[in-house]
Amino acid sequence: MLKPTVGPIIGHTTINHARIFLRGEVQKNTLAYAGIRYRRRGEVLWSPGVFTRLEPAHDMSEVIALNGLCADTVYEYQAGWFKSMHPTPPAEESPLHWPQQIYRFRTRSTQSTRPRAYLTGSCRYLRMTAGIAAAPHLGDRIFASMSRLAELADPPVSALVMTGDQIYVDDLNVFAPDRKLKDILQKYRVAFSQPRIADLMSSLPTYMILDDHEIEDNWPANKSKSDDLLYLNALKAYEIYQASHGPAHELCADGQINKKLDKYWYQIFEGDIEWFVTDSRTRRNLSADDRRILDAEQEQALCTWLINSPARVKFVVTSVVFYPDRKILDGDAWKAFAQQRLRLLETIREHNVKNVIFISGDVHGSLTSRLKHSADADFEVHTIVSSPLCNSKLLPYATQSSFILDQPLARTATGDYQHELTSPVISQDNFAHLVVEAGHIQVNYHDRNGGLLQSTSISLR
């Protein structure tokens, strides 16, 4: 067996289930299969191999689901792929020489109120020309710092949540824009096979959602008629490399992934903490009479979840910043969809929903902020922004002066929504480490070398 050409990537993981992405290589006149075997740490015997056929339609990649796992348990696994002339996967007893490398991951705990931790980040610029990354170590080194933190963290880090712009399809749009599927897929292969991000994603459950640069800057506001093929190809590549191992895919009766995918937004449940990861990019409506950053179905699902979920902490991921608004007038952020944002805020306030935290990226600056209501002392919403993981010298960092901070976010007949920063604005490459405890969320921002930049505590009610 051969080592995966991309991956393995640990995706959606629960108390008894884990999804693992891996890729082989295109073969002429022969078939290819991927396989995984696993065991609890400390055991000697491996499980029978779980195998699946690799197809060119999915860029020779596949997601293998492991079921019947034990909660809060560290598992070891081996992953690889091989060529075969047989039209079916090998039998369990077939002799195979597995790659020597052993990876590890941990399943979720059943203890609902235990402290939990997460890593978040966005915007990883890895400039590529003809499929080759320029100075790839610059776009990869921050993941070594994330791995070190995850290895030592207490409580254990449950997941890495990447909130958009994991790749830049449009990084050379002015000179050599990528439109073809093969070129976009090559960007994913290079981006996700860099050694440090590969090491992190092989052990830490990773959740992703797209933003504009997985398609085109400020999509769909800048869309032209010639972009239809770009859009189809960009989403195909996104589905293969980002959505495939996430919870948006349901399971079939045999416990493996149902490849049918009708939406990108999804939810994550862990004890008394829940996440609603929105698709704030592909279902926009830019018409003047019904402007939406989330489609009606998604907005209704989000509101229903906010009202009815018993979770103590509710994280809402929206790849573009929910607030504060930037001064720039690009029509891309929530500021341009003010009526829908107000509907969400009024839903939270009228139903007295507690501990709602919006998680975002996008702006190439990091911050925490609190939103209050002038006539409702019980209302409070927070936002945590973490961006970028790796910036380009061509792209500016956000600073405090980039945001509108001297006026209410929204005015209503019953009062004003007023916000304030609860941290400085960080204007350098960084990631966020969130620790959810009994009475508060600790938000720790770290630089690319792992050094602590800023720590903020958000009180829970």
| Residue 171, pLDDT score | 74
pLDDT recorded at residue 129: 60
Percent of the chain with pLDDT over 90: 84
Q: Average the pLDDT over 251-256 and give the result.
A: 89
- Mean pLDDT (the chain) is 93
Please tell me whether residues 238 and 378 are part of one structural domain.
Answer: yes
Give the C-alpha distances (Å, rounded to integers) separating 411 from 29, 46, 341, 402, 417: 66, 61, 12, 21, 6
Number of domains in the chain: 2
Residue 111 lies in a domain: no
Same domain, 51 and 132: no
- Do 352 and 450 fall within a single domain? yes
Of 51, 58, 133, nearest in space to 98 by CA: 51
Question: Beta strands of 262-387 (E only): which ranges?
Answer: 266-270, 273-277, 313-317, 356-360, 367-373, 376-385
User: Do 69 and 26 lie in a common domain?
Assistant: yes
Q: Which of 3-17, 63-77, 139-153, 159-173 has the lowest mean pLDDT?
A: 159-173
At 89 the pLDDT is 72
pLDDT greater than 90 at residue 91: no
Both 189 and 243 in one domain: the answer is: yes
| Contact in structure between 32 and 62 (CB atoms under 8 Å) | no
**pLDDT confidence of residue 176:** 56
Distance CA 105, CA 253 (A): 25
Q: Is the distance from CB of 64 to CB of 98 less than 8 angstroms?
A: no
Sign, CA torsion 76/242/195/150:
negative
Domain around 53: 6-106
Measured CA to CA, the distance from residue 376 to residue 349 in angstroms comes to 8
Res 143 pLDDT > 80: yes
Residues 101 and 170 occupy one common structural domain:
no
- Judge if 160 and 195 occupy the same domain: yes
In this model, does residue 223 exceed pLDDT 60? Answer: yes
Alpha-carbon distance of 206 to 427, in angstroms, equals 25
The pLDDT of residue 234 is 96
Q: State whether 35 and 122 are in the same domain.
A: no
Among residues 67, 87, 106, the one where a domain terminates is 106
- In terms of domains, do 260 and 363 share one? yes
Q: H-type helices in 157-295, by residue range?
A: 181-192, 195-201, 228-238
With respect to residue 68, please indicate whether it lies within any of the assigned structural domains. Answer: yes
* 1 within some domain: no
Domain boundary among 106, 125, 145: 106
pLDDT-derived band of residue 172, with 50, 70 and 90 as boundaries? Answer: low
Task: Mark whether 24 and 157 lie in a shared domain.
Answer: no
CATH number of the domain to which 63 belongs: 2.60.40.380
Do 59 and 168 belong to one domain? no
Q: Quick check: is 173 in a domain?
A: yes
d(CA 76, CA 427): 38
Specify the pTM: 0.95
The domain spanning residue 260 has which CATH number?
3.60.21.70
Query: Final residue of a domain: which of 47, 72, 106?
Result: 106
Same domain, 72 and 178: no
